[in-house]
Structure formats: structure tokens, C-alpha cells
Chain A
Amino acid sequence: MEKKLKIILCVVLIILIALISFVGVYSKDVAFFKNIIPSYSLSSEFSGKRVSRFKIYEGESEKIYDKDGNEVDSIPEGANEEDYRKETIKENPDEIRTVENYKKVKEIATRRLKTLGVADYKIRLNETTGEIAVELEDNENTDTILQDLQCKGDFSITDSQDGTLLLSKSDVKKASVIYTNADGTGITVYIDLKFNKEGTEKLAQISKDYLHVHDENEEEEVDENLKKVTLTIESSEMLTTYFGEEITNGELTISLGTATDSDSLQEYLEQGNFYAMLINDEDMPIKYTVDYSEVTKGNLEGNAVYYIIGTILVIFVVAAIYLIARYKLDGLVGILSMGAFISILLLLVRWTNTEISLNSVVAIAILIILDLYLMTKLFNKIKADSNYEAVRKSTVKTYLENIEIIIVAIIIAIVFTFMREEASFSFGMTLFYGIISIGVANLTFLRTMLLAKYNDK
């Protein structure tokens, strides 16, 4: 009686877990019933994606030269216009529109997407026209990402009066973002620039040439002739300042601002990370602009989802037929346990908001095969020796004897989980949760039902 009770209890628990996993748990929320189990998070293969066309920017700029051939910002008021020459220059002249540069743009864009943590993207380059089609997941960050991809990425420190280039990106070894809470008023976010050997020497010289030590006892005066430098990122002047001390360690920190709440801190950090990303990478050799962007359906939307669920069901049914045909009642117990592991896995995936992609489905298929293999080993042992003690030892011994296979599966899961790309990450996470689910299902439900079945008492 007791053994029947244990088996019935296990079956009821498995059915309950399956119901919770596939249907959910509903609770009343004001006037409606709401599912408290989070819904599945689907990757962009299943949901929508944004297709954007990047075209080479055809804009032009006007340059003004004086009679000596020097470039000037504008013709001074009252000056004779005939002494000045205006030249219209294409932003992207024909000579830079080469296949090598198109490919470089694609490489830089790919690196930027990786730095921005974009997990799912496709970049397609037309080597003839230079047009680039970018496919991204469509969410609240997509517009910002598209803007970031259009940035040229230039960085310079120049003389604020005559525009002489003092330091450029090639002098920077690494840019990163740091923050401190030095005086308790808030968190100050900085871009920290570490210069290479040549850059360090230049910085030391510049910090000497543009040095101004402000005496606190003197009244502050605005000295128009004070030598200052201008820091420019992405053609925007970030700040114009002088150096308060000589810098010989090759490190320059630039304050972005002091945040007094989490929202502004997040903004400063994002801005800092964006600038650091631009400074750490090459400039885009060609300026691009997004001239069209539209949402389309994912490749696997619609019927594809049913085909995929159908494939998993077919693998499950084949496994069920094999187990039941070969091991009869033990096989049935095995299939119930497999159902439990799939239910637990799907619950874990939903609860942890792990995105389901096509590769997650591959992971589930592999897990079913792995579980089937381990069960086959176990049931063969039980067939050879069907007494209670032997079954009790076999249920653990089988897993210990096949520990190498389990370890290999864990290695695969962990390595793929640490990859940023969505395809790898979702595969790794699903495999990892699946191994845990197999362990839980087999060492609880399978073991309990088998021990109850073979208990002669």
C-alpha cells in the first residue's frame, strides 16, 4: 500500500509541475486573473527584428580659405569676400569609397555592437555600393544603438585658439570609465585616458605649455590670452580648459559630471562608456547614415514555432516508445521522470527570463538524448539485478559511472553561458538548467518510483 501511495504521489506531483510549467499559476489581480509565472522570453528569431539600411552620407561641407591658403571658420565681418575662397567638399570623397573601407566600416560596426552588449545582430555589406543592412532585435535601445553605429568616432585635443592638433586617438592606449564618491555630494563619473609612450611625452609637454596655476589669494580674472586646450569627441567640443599641473604619468581623467541619483548616474555611465568605446576603436573611414529603418517579423515567426515544438515532441515520443517497448513499466517510470525534468527546465527558463532561441531547442533535444542514455544504462543494470538493494545502489552508481559525460555536458553549458552572443548564451543557460533539472527529476521522482516498485516489503 505504501509503495503504491509513493508512486501515486510522485505521479500527481509530476502532473502538478507539468501543469504549472505549461499552463501557469493564476491569481486574482483586482478584477482579472493574472499568471504569476513569468511568460517565455523569446529571442528575436521568433519575435520582431529591425532592418535598417545604412547608406554612405552624401552631405557636403564648406571650407573657407584666406588669400594665404589658411583655413578660417568664417569670413570676418567687413572683410573683402574676394580675398577668401570657398570650397565645397564632400564629406565622403570618392577616393575613400573603396571595398577595403566598406569592409573596415563593417568590422568597426561589429566591434561596436559587441562592446554595446548587443547579443543578436546581423550585418550585411554590399561591396559594390557600400550599402549596409543591419538586423537588430527591436526594443527600446535599438534607436540608440543605430545612432551609435553612425558615429565616426573622432577624438582630438587641440589648441583652442588656432586649432593645432596636440593629441589624437593614436596617442591613446586605452580609455575607460571610472567613478568616485570623493566628497559625498554625489558620484563623479570620469573618462580615464591612458596614453601610450609617445602620447605620454606629448601630454607631459602640453600640460607644461598649457599650464596655469591659479593663485587662490588673487581675485579670479578672465585672461583672454590664457592658453587653453579643447577636447573634441565626435566633432563636439566637450570642454575647453587649461592644465592645473604637469602630467607626467600619461594619464588624463576628464569629468563628465556628478550624479546625485541612480538615473543620472546611469546616464553618465552610458555616456562615458560610449565615448570610451569610440576612443578605443578606429575612426569609421566613411560616414554612414541610416536612411531607412523598419520592423519586420523574425525568421521563425508563425508556423515555425509549431514545427519546433513538434520536433521536440517527436523526439520525446520516440524516446517514450523506445523506453516502454524495451523496459516496460520501468520505461514508463522513466518517461514520467523525463516529463518532470522538461517541466522543471521550462519553469526555470521562464523564471530566470532566459531567452528561448532555436539553439535552446537544440539544448533541450540534447538533454532528452542525454537523459535517455543515462536511463538506458540504469535500466540495463536493473534488468541484470532487480532486487531492492541493487536498484537502490544503481540509481546513484549509474550517474557516478557516467560522471565524465555529465562533466562534459557541464563544461559545454558553462563555456557557452559565458559568451555574450544570444545564440550561445541561450544554448548554454538552457543546457545548464537542463542538467540541474535532470538531476532533480531523476534523483527524486525516478529513484523514488523505482525504489517503491522494487520494494518487496
Chain B
Amino acid sequence: MKNKVIIAVLALVIIAGVVMAVVFGFNKSFEYSYTNKIFIKFTENFEIADVEEMVKEVFQDAKYKVEYMDEFEDGVVVTTNTASDEQISSFEDKLIEKYEKFTDKNSGFMEVIHVPPVRTIDLVEVFVKPVIIVTAIVIIFLAIVFRKLGFVKAVCLPIALILGINAIFVSVIAIFRIPVSDYIVSLTMFVYVLSLIVATIYTKRLAK
């Protein structure tokens, strides 16, 4: 009875996750959403804190990140999730006002790249082929080694376990709108590999 309740709850979680994913899609992290990257090349000394202050003033409620372009620290990249033309123009004006070497807007000291969002499918696409191949080989391996258990226990149960564990994990991400980022993609890999190992251990226990 207890097992049936647990399975029912987990099934509900999976269904809710699928609905959330289909209707609302996955929530993407800042880096993978639509961002505006503003590249500023400095030809005089500057403090990154001053640039951050200007960004806060101009872009107000927007999410932003201000960092050096590279290890030479002679340029800054400002990444924001929203940036209207007026805000960009206002930001440019502030930079011209503060820094002598920025003479006017046409001098090319600032460049804006509008970076479209990454599609969730593009993030996971690289793993689709190896995951399918590995899962197929592992299932065939388990079917051969534990053939005495029969088709249902040696093949169907491991498949159900692998799919179930991963479906629950992905559903939790969808339901709680956890932002999909590099960390989440790697964590999904971790859960997938663990699910294969758990399926193997479980099938072995059944065989014993």
C-alpha cells in the first residue's frame, strides 16, 4: 500500500512537471536568457566600481553583471537582461561625461550585442546521442547478464527506473522553475549516470 502511494505521488510529480515544461517551458538562468552585452574598451584608467554605479543608475531594476573583458582588464563587459535604446544611449552619455577619452558616440568605444536566449534543446542536444547509446548498451547488457529474471525484470524495470529517476529530477526543475544553467545541465548528467548505476544495483538485487 505504502509503495503504491509513493509511486502515485511520484507519477503526479512527473505529470505536473511535464505540464509545466510544455506550457511554460523551462526557466533559464541569466546567462542563457536574452541578454544585452555591452562591450566598453577603455583607453584611460578607470574603476570598475564606477562603471557598476553608472549601470545601476541607468538600468535600475534590470539584472546585470559587470566584469572585466579579459585578464588585461582594459575593457569591461556589462551584461543586462533588459536594455532599451534610451537606456543604452543614456549609459553612453554618462561614459562620455565621465571619461575624457570618450569623445562622442561615433568613436566606437562601446558596442552592444543583443544575445538571443539559448534554447533548452540546444543546451542538452550534445548529450542526446551519447545518452541514447549508453542507455541502449546498458539495457542490453543487463538483459544479457540477468536474462534469468525474464524480460520484465531484466529490461522493463531498469528502463522504468532510469526514466523515472530522470523524469522526477527534470519535473522538479520545471515545477520549481529552477533556472537552467551550466550547473543544472551538469547536475542532470550526474543524476542520469547515478540512475544507470541504481538500475544496475537494483536489477542485481532482484537477481540475488
Contact partner, A407, options B114, B141, B189, Cβ 8 Å: B141
Give the contacts of B116-169 with A (CB-CB under 8 A). 116-118, 122, 126-127, 129-130, 133-134, 137-138, 141-142, 145
Contacts of B126 in A (CB 8 A): 419, 421, 423-424
B31 at interface, CB cutoff 8 A: yes
Q: Which residue of B lies closest to A421 (CB)?
A: B126
Contact with B along A289-317 (1 / 0, CB 8 A): 00010111101101000000000000000
B207 to chain A, nearest CB (A): 9
Given contacts A294-B111, A404-B145, 14 further A-B contacts (CB under 8 A): A53-B113, A122-B118, A124-B115, A131-B116, A292-B39, A292-B113, A295-B69, A297-B77, A365-B190, A366-B193, A411-B138, A412-B193, A423-B127, A424-B126
Q: What separation, in Å, do the CA atoms of A408 and B161 have in the docked complex? A: 15
Contacts of B68 in A (CB 8 A): 297
Q: What separation, in Å, do the CA atoms of A278 and B135 have in the docked complex? A: 34
Q: What separation, in Å, do the CA atoms of A395 and B195 have in the docked complex? A: 26
A370 engages B190 (CB within 8 Å): no
B130 engages A415 (CB within 8 Å): yes
Q: Which residue of A lies closest to B132 (CB)?
A: A415
Q: Which residue of A lies closest to B123 (CB)?
A: A122
Contacts of A133 in B (CB 8 A): 113-116
Q: Which residue of A lies closest to B207 (CB)?
A: A404
B190 engages A358 (CB within 8 Å): no
B137 engages A411 (CB within 8 Å): yes
A288 at interface, CB cutoff 8 A: no
Q: Which 8 A-B pairs have the closest CB atoms?
A: A421-B126, A124-B116, A126-B116, A133-B115, A358-B186, A362-B190, A415-B134, A53-B113
Contact with B along A397-418 (1 / 0, CB 8 A): 0000000110111011001100
- Check A411/B70 contact, CB under 8 A, given A51-B113, A122-B118, A131-B114: no
A124 engages B182 (CB within 8 Å): no
Q: What separation, in Å, do the CA atoms of A125 and B126 have in the docked complex? A: 18
- Check A412/B196 contact, CB under 8 A, given A51-B115, A427-B189: yes
Q: What separation, in Å, do the CA atoms of A335 and B133 have in the docked complex? A: 34
A358 engages B183 (CB within 8 Å): yes
Contacts of A45 in B (CB 8 A): 182
A359 at interface, CB cutoff 8 A: yes
Q: Which residue of A lies closest to B133 (CB)?
A: A415
A interface, size bucket: 35 or more
B116 engages A404 (CB within 8 Å): no
A405 engages B133 (CB within 8 Å): no
A408 engages B197 (CB within 8 Å): yes
B163 to chain A, nearest CB (A): 16
Q: Which residue of B lies closest to A133 (CB)?
A: B115
A204 at interface, CB cutoff 8 A: no
B204 at interface, CB cutoff 8 A: yes
Q: Which residue of B lies closest to A301 (CB)?
A: B67
B201 at interface, CB cutoff 8 A: yes
Residues of chain A touching chain B, judged by Cβ–Cβ distance below 8 Å, are 45, 48, 51, 53, 122-127, 129, 131, 133, 292, 294-297, 299-300, 302, 358-359, 361-362, 365-366, 369-370, 404-405, 407-409, 411-412, 415-416, 419, 421, 423-424, 427-428
B171 at interface, CB cutoff 8 A: no
Q: What separation, in Å, do the CA atoms of A133 and B37 have in the docked complex? A: 11
Contacts of A292 in B (CB 8 A): 39, 111, 113
Q: What separation, in Å, do the CA atoms of A364 and B142 have in the docked complex? A: 25
B194 at interface, CB cutoff 8 A: yes
Contacts of A302 in B (CB 8 A): 67
B112 to chain A, nearest CB (A): 9
Between A and B, 16 residue pairs with Cβ closer than 8 Å are A51-B37, A122-B122, A126-B114, A133-B114, A296-B69, A366-B193, A366-B194, A369-B194, A370-B197, A408-B141, A408-B200, A411-B138, A412-B138, A415-B130, A421-B126, A427-B189
Contacts of A123 in B (CB 8 A): 122
Contacts of A125 in B (CB 8 A): 116
B201 engages A405 (CB within 8 Å): yes
- Check A424/B127 contact, CB under 8 A, given A126-B114, A300-B182, A415-B133: yes
Contacts of A366 in B (CB 8 A): 190, 193-194, 197
B129 engages A296 (CB within 8 Å): no
Q: What separation, in Å, do the CA atoms of A358 and B71 have in the docked complex? A: 21
Q: What separation, in Å, do the CA atoms of A359 and B192 have in the docked complex? A: 12
A124 engages B134 (CB within 8 Å): no
Contacts of B183 in A (CB 8 A): 358
Contacts of B37 in A (CB 8 A): 51, 296
A207 to chain B, nearest CB (A): 41
B188 to chain A, nearest CB (A): 9
Q: Which residue of A lies closest to B115 (CB)?
A: A133
- Check A358/B182 contact, CB under 8 A, given A294-B111, A408-B196: yes
Give the contacts of B55-107 with A (CB-CB under 8 A). 67-71, 75, 77
- Check A424/B186 contact, CB under 8 A, given A51-B115, A123-B122: no
B134 engages A412 (CB within 8 Å): yes
B200 engages A404 (CB within 8 Å): yes
Q: What separation, in Å, do the CA atoms of A369 and B198 have in the docked complex? A: 12
B197 engages A409 (CB within 8 Å): yes
Q: What separation, in Å, do the CA atoms of A294 and B111 have in the docked complex? A: 10
A74 to chain B, nearest CB (A): 36
B70 engages A48 (CB within 8 Å): yes
Contacts of A295 in B (CB 8 A): 69-70
